[in-house]
Each structure stands twice: as C-alpha cells, then as structure tokens.
Structure 1
Amino acid sequence: MRKLGVFYFLFFIICSCATKKNISGNYQYKGVSNGFPKEYNLSIRKDSFDISYKSQDASPNCVGKWEIFQDTLYLRCNKENVVMNMLSNGYMNKRDYKLKIIDNQKLKMIEENIILSKK
C-alpha cells in the first residue's frame, strides 16, 4: 500500500512539472462574435502574464500573476489603484480567468469557450 502511495505522489510531481515547463509563451485567438472581430492575446512568462482583448470599441488589458492547479491555469490580474485607468477603455473589468490546459500548444478559456493557440 505504501508503494502505491509513493507511486501516485511521484506521478503527480512529474505531471505537474511537465505542465509548468511548457506553459510559457504567447497565445492568440482571432475570431468573430456577433458579426464583430474578436481577438485575445495572452503572454505567459515565468512568474507573470499579460492578457489583452480587442473588439470593435475597446482594447482592455491587464497584467498579473498565474498559477496552475492540476490541468487548470488560473490568471489573476493585479489590482488597479488609479481611478482614471479604471475609467478608460483599456481597463479590463474581468480580473480573473480560468483556462484549461489542453496541451502545451492550446489553452481553452472556460467561460468564453474559445481556444487560444500558441504562436
């Protein structure tokens, strides 16, 4: 029984390391929603990320920290302290994102139901 527990622990560590190793990079989605072009750009670095969204009338973006739990990537934007930035069209109202890691080339935005592909 103890050997089985050690096996599961090592398997979990190996899977976690393999996922984190290949997650960095630039991801993109371009498509059409309600007749208007829609574009997401996501750049994941070692300890931070930045995400931007372009639509007909706005181009909000945010920078923050990310973490992985199992096969899900969690993005949390940094808190904005300047009120004028919050009122601009560059402020991203949505501050938290969940992305399912499909493989090291694709991430699925769970709430938007779109797939970002690595550039």
Structure 2
Amino acid sequence: MSFLSVSKRLIIITVFMLGIVAVIGCATTDSDPMATRLAAMSDEELISYYHGINDRLKEIQQGTRDADRQGTVTEQDQLAKMPYIIGGEAWALEQKRERVSRELSRRNLKP
C-alpha cells in the first residue's frame, strides 16, 4: 500500500514540475519575433530593409495605378486582390514599415 502511495506522489510531483517548466518556458519565450529580428539588425541592414519595404510599396502603388488606368476588372475575388485592405500585402508592409521606422527613431537614424 505504501508503495502505491509513494509512486502516486512521484507521479503527481513529476506532473507538477513539468507544468511549472512549461509555464516558465512559455513565459520566457519572446512573443514578438519581429522585434527581436529588428533589434538584431545592424544600422545598415535596418536602413536597407526600410528602403526595400518602401520600394515594394511603390511597386504595388504603381501596379494599382496601371490597373486603374487600363480599366482592368478582375473576375475573381475583388477583396483578395486589393492590396490595401486589412490583411493585404500593402497593409502588412505598412505595418512593418511603421515598426522599422520606430526602431530607426530609437537608434536616432534617418532612412
């Protein structure tokens, strides 16, 4: 009888310890990998990344203007093709550009 109670205690203690390790592991994991990535970039890399985002946004804007000028009407899902809606490529790039801009300001850099 005492053997069973000892093994039950060991199981309970083991499960409890694994739970604590899991909670500590999750608490120490960086929940924002973008911030870690930006902080790890050198000044030159960060400025280059900012310019790359701007260049892609200009390409998207030019493509949108060209499609408007040509009167292009796509037959497929209109919302999925619009780059500036929430979740679209341009929207995501603008969010990234804002974060990069804040990191540049934090480092006192101008693109």
TM-score by length of 2: 0.30
Q: Tell me which protein shows more strand as a share of its residues.
A: 1
TM-score by length of 1: 0.29
Q: Tell me which protein shows more helix as a share of its residues.
A: 2
